[in-house]
């Protein structure tokens, strides 16, 4: 049934990812709401004590209760980042993926024109965007029903319409780049960059005195600039996102119709171009040449250079930005924070937003940093074994005198190195930001938080490695590690607020990463030891699992 | 069977649930031999090779190469084995040169002069990314990676796939060279033409079972040949059909076409008692015997049909 058309097959291949994302979001949402509910009254009283200006700045709206606050946080950051992330992967793969895997030849050998191909793929993308939004929206009401609220005053539908419009814009752009360049990598990189940069641009610039108008440059501004969650749909903003989004899809059909089809993705990097120029070939060879092929570890790290560059640049950019921003708002904030009761501090992850360290923690190290670095780790680890099997290169690799154990260890080590590199860049970014903004962060504590980040990300990566080693299915590895990541975030952040369930937070790996607030308190060696031991155990289990089974490909 | 075989597969069985891909397969291959491993698609050729290489684990049975168990000593052995997978996949983002450099680094002891020599012989373009190569050109890179370390044993799974006739010839010459130098080759294929010119011995696998192993020489002798003869006077078919080895006789006036197997002498003797004006023999037709093996065993009725 699902193989009757290109459209149906595209949906068949991708519905699971969307459903898992929606389920994970609903679960996180439910845990958050349920945990806050126990301290509803205290929290609300405390929030009412806050000055209006601060509530506005932080986006806290007490009129809707704590449930409303959790929802407003969720719908403005986690929901769009997760859903659009999944849709970017899908849109990047839609046309370019068929060329990358070489399946475009047999596909177009059937009586289907190129325009029809793009139309069906775009149709599937639109359908899955709609389904994803509806699932998210359904999840909101499920959570509301579970905790016995009525959801009045929350414009959940409006917020979902804005979500769909933003997804259409960024996904459409990704789809266009993929159809144009035949490169899934370029397409995904474009979509992700637009998503992350505009998320921060639209979110951080209004906090400065000069940046407000510039926020309107970013698509994200039209997603939540008009606060659809509290005010309902701003149709002009929706149109500004959805219009170009649809235009991108149409344009994709036009450019795809005109160009030569490719089979097998040929990546041309700057180094390749240098290498072709006889004047620079020697230099290029020294930079890229034998070193990257010297061993399994070297080759694996060199393959992840692009992702590392994106993650590293984002982390550096954020780290360097936060310092100057805090300089602008910090004084006001630390005054306000003094008036806050303890419960409030617990609600913002225990971070003291009035201090540079707390502000840094809340802005970078609470969600975005771990997500970015863990994405690098999960990507590398799930491709490490299962990816080589999927691409059928494991056969030739193991035709060489390398043991399975060595393959697992070399790939795990490559992941550790790249995560360490990303965290080193984060360190430099935060150091730069602290220097620019005169925040005076302790260098040892910056090192501590970056070490905690690295060790946590490596742990999440080793889980992906293990699932890949056990199953040989890279999607299973990615999904399992991502789910663990989201669940452990939810458990560590929301359970401590509940008097009955608080102790269970220690079951979450995230607890050992963040609860100690290393940027304020330095290294927690015991916690690092626990995460390191757990990582080592998963690597050991990966070796065991990978040695005992038949390999694919 | 053979004394000190280089490759020895003993009672190899590989099951996937209820499905048996390879069933109790045993074969010994001595040093310097090219063993052609023939069978239709899905017969179990690739499963056999992958089991021998320890990429998958046999349900029962085992294999040794150079006297070492292929599971226990898999890493040590791989240094001495060149493997070319049937469905070749090499990192598409690397150029041919980069991919070979990578494997050379993992393997150690690669003579780049030999690699360059191979690249020249096969006219392989190693500067282009593998993802951008045609399947034939990609296959050349695959061949180079299997041969570059001059291993003692070659496990080649349909190696000629995608190669043009000139390159196939070059490849066969290379196989002869390496076996002359003492290497042993296990060559899997589903087409006889890929192995008939080089193999010393062939094994036929069908539905996971090795149904026959034959010396190539014996196989050629067994093969059917056709002789067309022109006589001065009409000859009776019965005069020729009674001769040893003759399978079929067709007489049309002064012209007779005889299909026979084995040596030609009895037929020549019988023909010489009549006045023969001309005689033409068509080349060895292994394909027919090969098809017999393909279709034959499980379905005896079709054996006749295959021989016509």
SS (H, E, C) A69-129: HHHHHHHHHHHHHHHHHHHHHHHHHHCHHHHHCCCHHHHHCCCCCHHHHHHHHHHHHHHHH
Per CB-CB distance under 8 Å, the chain A contacts of B131 are 264-267
Measured in whole angstroms, how far is the alpha carbon of residue A535 from the centre of its chain? 21
CA B255 to chain A, closest CA, distance in angstroms equals 50
Residue of B56, B90, B132 lying closest to A551 (CB–CB): B56
CATH architecture of B7-216: 3-Layer(aba) Sandwich (3.40)
- Distances A452 to A367, A423, B25 between C-alpha atoms, Å: 14, 9, 55
- Residue recorded with tokens 């225990």: A350
Confidence of residue B304 (pLDDT cuts 50, 70, 90): very low
Give the pLDDT of residue B159.
93
3-state DSSP helix/strand/coil % of chain A, to nearest 5: 80, 0, 20
Q: Of 3.30.70.100, 3.40.50.1970, 3.40.50.300, 3.40.50.2300, which CATH number belongs to B224-283?
A: 3.30.70.100
For A290, nearest residue in chain B (alpha carbons): B101
For A276, nearest residue in chain B (alpha carbons): B127
Question: β-strand B34-38 against B201-206: which pairing, if any?
Answer: parallel
Q: Give the residue extent of every domain in chain B.
A: 7-216, 224-283
Give the pLDDT of residue A44.
64
DSSP assignment string, B114-149 = HHHHHHHHTT---SSBGGGS-HHHHHHHHHHHHHTT
Say how many C-beta atoms besides its own lie within 10 A of residue B78's C-beta: 24
Which residue in A188, A186, A254, A193 sits closest to A219, CA to CA? A193
b (16+ CB within 10 A) / e for B23-39 = bebebbbbbebbbbbbb
- Quote the CA–CA distance of B21 and B209 in Å, as a whole number: 9
CA B105 to chain A, closest CA, distance in angstroms equals 6
SS (H, E, C) A129-159: HHHHHHHHHHHHHHHHHHCCCCCCCCCHHHH
- Distances A441 to A324, A334, A451, A519, A521 between C-alpha atoms, Å: 13, 16, 16, 8, 11
Interchain proximity B55–A398, CB inside 8 Å: yes
The kind and range of the H/E element at A457 are: helix A443-471
Confidence of residue A109 (pLDDT cuts 50, 70, 90): confident
Interchain proximity B83–A395, CB inside 8 Å: yes
B189, β-bridge pairs = B38
Per CB-CB distance under 8 Å, the chain B contacts of A406 are 75
State which of A206-210, A423-427, B52-56, B108-112 shows the largest mean pLDDT: A423-427
- Residue recorded with tokens 């997603």: A223
Interchain proximity B106–A402, CB inside 8 Å: yes
What 8-state DSSP symbol labels residue A352? -
Apex CA A68: angle with CA A67 and CA A72, to 5°?
120
Predicted structure pTM score? 0.72
Give the pLDDT of residue B301.
30
Q: Which of residues 249-268 of A touch B (CB under 8 A)?
A: 264-267
Interchain proximity A395–B89, CB inside 8 Å: yes
Apex CA A453: angle with CA A323 and CA A364, to 5°?
30
Which residue would you say has higher pLDDT here, A55 or B269?
B269
Residue A236 pLDDT > 90: yes
What residues contact residue B153 under an 8 Å CB cut-off, 6+ apart? B6, B7, B65, B66, B80, B81, B82, B183, B184, B185, B186
- Quote the CA–CA distance of B116 and B237 in Å, as a whole number: 60
Give the pLDDT of residue A338.
63
Give the pLDDT of residue A27.
82
Interchain proximity B93–A265, CB inside 8 Å: yes
Residue A138 pLDDT > 90: yes
- Residue recorded with tokens 């290379």: B174
Interchain proximity A267–B93, CB inside 8 Å: yes
Residue of A402, A550, A551 lying closest to B75 (CB–CB): A402
Which of B93, B157, B159 to mutate against chain A (most A CBs within 10 Å)? B93
Q: Give the residue extent of every domain in chain A.
A: 1-265, 304-553
The kind and range of the H/E element at A321 are: helix A305-338
Q: Which of residues 183-212 of A touch B (CB under 8 A)?
A: none
Interchain proximity A393–B90, CB inside 8 Å: yes
Interchain proximity B129–A303, CB inside 8 Å: no
Phi/psi at B208 (5° precision): 85, -5
pLDDT digits (tens, 9 = 90+) for A441-457: 999 999 999 999 999 99
Which of B19, B50, B89, B106 to mutate against chain A (most A CBs within 10 Å)? B106
pLDDT digits (tens, 9 = 90+) for A202-218: 877 777 777 778 889 99
What 8-state DSSP symbol labels residue A62? G
The kind and range of the H/E element at B212 are: strand B209-215
């Amino acid at each position: 049934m699902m193989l009757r058309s290109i459209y149906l097959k595209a949906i068949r291949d991708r519905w699971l990812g969307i459903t898992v994302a929606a389920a994970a979001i609903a679960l996180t949402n439910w845990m958050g709401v349920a945990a806050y509910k126990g301290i509803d009254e205290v929290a609300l009283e405390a929030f009412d004590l806050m000055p209006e200006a601060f509530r506005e700045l932080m986006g806290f709206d007490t009129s809707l209760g704590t449930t409303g606050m959790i929802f407003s946080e969720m719908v403005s950051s986690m929901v769009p980042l997760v859903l659009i992330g999944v849709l970017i992967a899908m849109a990047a793969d839609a046309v370019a993926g068929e060329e990358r895997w070489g399946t475009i030849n047999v596909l177009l050998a059937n009586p289907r024109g190129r325009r029809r191909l793009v139309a069906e793929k775009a149709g599937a993308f639109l359908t899955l965007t709609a389904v994803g939004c509806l699932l998210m929206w359904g999840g909101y009401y499920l959570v509301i029903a579970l905790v016995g609220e009525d959801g009045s005053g929350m414009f959940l539908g409006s917020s979902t319409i804005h979500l769909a419009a933003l997804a259409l814009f960024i996904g459409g752009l990704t789809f266009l780049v993929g159809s144009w360049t035949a490169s899934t990598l370029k397409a995904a990189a474009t979509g992700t960059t637009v998503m992350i940069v505009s998320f921060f641009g639209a979110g951080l610039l209004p906090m400065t005195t000069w940046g407000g108008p510039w926020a309107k440059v970013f698509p994200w501004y039209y997603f939540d600039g008009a606060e659809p969650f509290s005010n309902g749909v701003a149709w002009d903003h929706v149109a500004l996102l959805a219009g170009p989004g649809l235009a991108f899809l149409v344009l994709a059909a036009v450019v795809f119709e005109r160009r030569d089809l490719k089979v097998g993705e040929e990546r041309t990097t700057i180094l390749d171009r240098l290498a072709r120029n006889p004047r620079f070939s020697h230099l290029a060879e020294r930079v890229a040449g034998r070193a990257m092929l010297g061993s399994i570890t070297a080759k694996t790290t060199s393959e992840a250079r692009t992702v590392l560059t994106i993650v590293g640049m984002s982390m550096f950019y954020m780290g360097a930005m936060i310092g100057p921003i805090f300089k602008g708002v910090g004084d006001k904030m630390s005054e306000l924070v003094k008036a806050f009761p303890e419960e409030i501090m617990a609600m913002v992850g225990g971070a003291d937003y009035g201090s540079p360290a707390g502000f840094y923690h809340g802005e970078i190290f609470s969600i975005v940093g771990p997500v970015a670095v863990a994405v690098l780790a999960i990507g590398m680890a799930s491709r490490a074994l299962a990816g080589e099997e999927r691409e059928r290169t494991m056969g030739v690799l193991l035709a060489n005198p390398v043991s399975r154990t060595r393959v697992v260890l070399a790939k795990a080590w490559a992941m550790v190195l790249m995560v360490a590199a990303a965290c080193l860049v984060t360190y430099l970014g935060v150091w730069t930001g602290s220097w620019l903004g005169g925040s005076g962060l302790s260098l040892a504590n910056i090192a501590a938080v970056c070490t905690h980040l690295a060790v946590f990300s490596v742990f999440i990566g080793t889980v992906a490695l293990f699932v890949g080693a056990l199953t040989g299915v890279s999607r299973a590895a990615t999904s399992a590690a991502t789910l663990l990541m989201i669940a452990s975030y939810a458990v560590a952040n929301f359970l401590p607020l509940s008097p009955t369930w608080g102790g269970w937070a220690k079951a979450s790996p995230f607890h050992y990463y963040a609860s100690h607030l290393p940027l304020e308190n330095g290294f927690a060696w015991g916690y690092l030891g626990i995460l390191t031991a757990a990582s080592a155990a998963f690597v050991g289990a990966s070796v065991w699992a990978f040695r005992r089974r038949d390999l694919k490909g | 069977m053979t004394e000190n075989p280089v490759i020895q597969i003993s009672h190899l069985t590989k099951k996937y649930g209820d499905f048996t891909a390879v069933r109790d397969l045993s074969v010994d291959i001595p040093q310097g031999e090219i063993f052609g491993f023939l069978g239709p698609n899905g017969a179990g050729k690739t499963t056999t090779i992958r089991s021998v290489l320890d990429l998958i684990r046999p349900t029962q049975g085992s294999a040794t190469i150079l006297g070492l168990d292929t599971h226990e000593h898999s890493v040590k052995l791989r240094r001495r084995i060149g493997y070319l997978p049937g469905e070749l996949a090499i990192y598409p983002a690397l150029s041919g040169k980069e991919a070979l450099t990578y494997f050379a680094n993992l393997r150690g002891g690669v003579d780049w002069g030999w690699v360059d020599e191979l690249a020249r012989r096969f006219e392989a373009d190693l500067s282009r990314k593998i993802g951008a190569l045609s399947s034939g050109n990609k296959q050349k890179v695959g061949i180079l990676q299997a041969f570059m370390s001059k291993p003692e044993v070659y496990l080649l799974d349909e190696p000629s796939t995608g190669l043009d006739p000139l390159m196939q010839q070059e490849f066969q010459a290379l196989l002869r060279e390496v076996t002359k130098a003492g290497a042993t080759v296990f060559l899997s294929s589903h087409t006889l033409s890929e192995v008939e010119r080089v193999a010393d011995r062939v094994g036929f696998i069908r539905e996971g079972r090795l149904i026959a192993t034959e010396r190539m020489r014996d196989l050629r002798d067994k093969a059917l040949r056709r002789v067309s003869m022109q006589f001065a006077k009409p000859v009776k078919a019965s005069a020729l059909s009674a001769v040893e080895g003759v399978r079929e006789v067709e007489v049309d006036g002064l012209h007779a076409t005889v299909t026979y197997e084995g040596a030609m002498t009895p037929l020549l003797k019988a023909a010489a008692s009549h006045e023969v004006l001309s005689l033409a023999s068509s080349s060895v037709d292994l394909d027919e015997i090969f098809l017999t093996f393909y279709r034959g065993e499980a379905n005896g009725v079709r054996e006749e049909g295959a021989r016509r």
